[in-house]
Structure 1
Amino acid sequence: MADTSIGTPAQLRDPNYTPPLHKAIPLGIQHVLAMFVSNVTPAIIVAGAAGFGFGSNSPDFPELLYLIQMSMLFAGVATLLQTITIGPVGAALPIVQGTSFAFLPIMIPLVAGRGVDALAALFGGVLIGGLFHAAIGLFIGKIRFALPPLVTGLVVTMIGLALVRVGIQYAAGGVPAIGTPEYGSLLNWSAALVVIVVTLALKFFTRGMLAVSAVLIGLIAGYVYAIAVGMLPLDAITGSWERSAAFALPQPFKYGFEFSVAAVLGFCLMAFVSAIETVGDVSGIAKGGAGREATDREIQGATYADGLGTALAGVFGGLPNTSFSQNVGLIAMTGVMSRHVVTCGAVFLILCGLVPKVGGVIRTVPIEVLGGGVIVMFGMVVAAGISMLSDVNWNRRNMVIFAVALSVGLGLQLEPDAVQYLPDSARVLMVSGLLPAAFIAIVLNLVLPEDLAEEATDPVAGGLSGKESWGKSPEGVPLETPRH
Structure 2
Amino acid sequence: MSSMPQLLEDGGPVPSGSSYRGVMSPEQARDPDYFPGMAMAIPLGIQHVLAMFVSNLAPAIIVAGAAGFGYGSPDPSEMIYMIQMSMLFAGVATLFQTIGAGPMGARLPIVQGTSFAFLPVMIPIVAGQGVAAMAALTTAAIFGGLFHMVLSFFVGRIRFALPPMVTGLVVLMIGLSLMRVGVQYAAGGVPAVGTDSYGAAGSWLLAGTVAATTLALSFFARGIWSTASVLIGLCVGYAVAAMMGRISLEPVETVGWFMVPSPFHFGFALSASAILGFCLMGVVSAIETVGDVSGICEGGAGREATDRELSGATFADGFGTAIAAVFGALPNTSFSQNVGLIAITGVMSRHIVTVGAVFLILCGLVPKIGAVVTTIPIEVLGGGVIVMFGMVASAALSMLSSVEWTQRNMLIFGVSLSLALGLQLEPESLKHLPETLRVLLGSGVLPAAALAVVLNLVVPGRTEERVSA
TM-score (norm 2): 0.95
Match for residue 10 of structure 1 among 18, 24, 27: 27
- The equivalent residue for 1:285 is 296
Structure 1 residue 454 corresponds to structure 2 residue 463: yes
Tell me the residue number matched to 1:209.
Answer: 224
Structure-2 separation of matches of 1:291 and 1:150: 25
- TM-aligned CA deviation for residue 199 of structure 1: 0.4
How far apart, CA to CA, are the structure 2 residues paired with 1:184 and 1:378?
A: 20
CA distance in 1, matches of 2:94, 2:104: 11
| 1:360 aligns to 2:371 (yes or no) | yes
Matched residues in 2 for 1:324 and 1:245: separation? 30
Q: Is the 8 A contact 2:404 2:466 kept in 1?
A: no
Matched residue, 1:336: 347
Structure 1 position 179, deviation (Å): 0.4
1:241 to 244, 252, 255: 252
Which one-letter code corresponds to 1:47 in the other structure? Answer: A
Correspondent of 2:420 among 402, 409, 424: 409
Q: 2:55 aligns with which of 38, 42, 59?
A: 38
CA–CA distance in 2 between the matches of 1:9 and 1:138? 33
Q: Is the 8 A contact 1:171 1:192 kept in 2?
A: yes
**Residue in 2 that maps onto 1:371:** 382
Q: CA distance change for structure 1 residues 35 and 53 in 2, over 3 Å: closer, same or farther?
A: closer
Secondary structure at 1:417's aligned position in 2?
Answer: helix
TM-aligned CA deviation for residue 148 of structure 1: 0.2
1:6/1:23 contact within 8 Å kept: no
Mapped pair 1:58 → 2:74: yes
Rounded Cα–Cα distance in structure 2 between residues aligned with 1:25 and 1:424: 49
SS of the residue 2:230 aligns to: helix
Q: Encode CA deviations 1:82-105: one digit per residue, 9 max, x unaligned.
A: 001111100000000000000000
**Paired residue for 1:72, among 77, 87, 96?**
87
Paired position in structure 2 for 1:85: 100
SS in structure 2 of the partner of residue 215 of structure 1: helix
Percent identity between the aligned chains?
65
Residue of structure 2 equivalent to 1:459 = none
Instruction: Tell whether 2:157 aligns with 1:146.
Output: no
| Partner Cα separation in structure 1 for residue 74 and residue 305 of structure 2 | 48
Structure 2 unaligned spans of 5+: 1-11, 14-19
Once residues 6 and 13 of structure 1 are traced to their aligned partners in structure 2, the CA distance between those partners, rounded to angstroms, is 13
8 Å Cα contact 1:25/1:341 also seen in 2: yes
Task: State the aligned residue count.
Answer: 452
Partner of 1:464: none
For 2:305, what is the secondary structure of its paired residue?
coil
1:331-388 superposed Cα distances (whole Å, 9 cap, x missing partner): 0101111000000000000000011111011111110000000000000000111111
CA 1:468–1:11 in structure 2 vs 1: closer, same or farther (change >3 Å)?
closer
d(CA) in 2 for partners of 1:136, 1:245: 40
Alignment check: 8 A CA contact 2:148 2:314 kept: yes
The reply on whether 1:218 has 2:229 as its aligned counterpart is no
Secondary structure of 1:98 counterpart: strand
CA deviation map 1:285-316 (0-9, x unaligned): 00111111100000000000000000000100
Tell me, what secondary structure is at the counterpart of 2:373?
helix
Distance 1:280 1:145 in 2: 13
Equivalent position SS for 2:333:
strand
Write the distance in 1 (CA, Å) between the matches of 2:140 and 2:342. Answer: 33
The 2-side partners of 1:199 and 1:146 are apart by 37
In the alignment, which residue of structure 2 is the partner of 1:189? 204
| Counterpart in the other structure of 1:477 | none
Answer yes or no: is the 8 Å Cα contact 1:393–1:470 preserved in 2: no
* 3-state secondary structure, aligned to 2:35: coil
Give 1:454's aligned amino acid.
T
In structure 2, which of residues 299, 313, 325 is the aligned counterpart of residue 314 of structure 1? 325
Q: How far, CA to CA, are the matches of 1:225 and 1:384 in structure 2?
A: 30
- 1:427-459 per-position Cα deviation (integer Å, ceiling 9, x unaligned): 011111111111100000000011xx226xxxx
2:463 alignment partner AA: E
Q: Bigger CA drift: 148-157 or 421-430?
A: 421-430
State the TM-score, normalized to the length of structure 1.
0.92
- Extract structure 1 runs of 4+ deviating beyond 4 A: none
For residue 62 of structure 2, give the secondary structure of its aligned residue in structure 1: helix
Cα offset for 1:244?
Answer: 1.5
Inter-partner Cα distance in structure 1 for 2:467 and 2:24: 51
Matched, 1:398 2:398: no
Contact 2:413 2:452 in 1 (8 A): yes
* 2-structure distance, mates of 1:212, 1:271: 28
Aligned partner of 2:22: which letter? S
Gaps of 5+ in 1: 456-466, 472-484
Amino acid at match of 2:39: H
Query: What's the CA shift string for 1:39-82, capped at 9, x where partnerless?
Result: 00000000000011435x823x1110100000000000000000
Q: Tell me the equivalent position of 2:171.
A: 156
Give the equivalent residue in structure 1 for 2:8. Answer: none
- Tell me what 2:4 maps to: none
Distance 2:450 2:333 in 1: 21
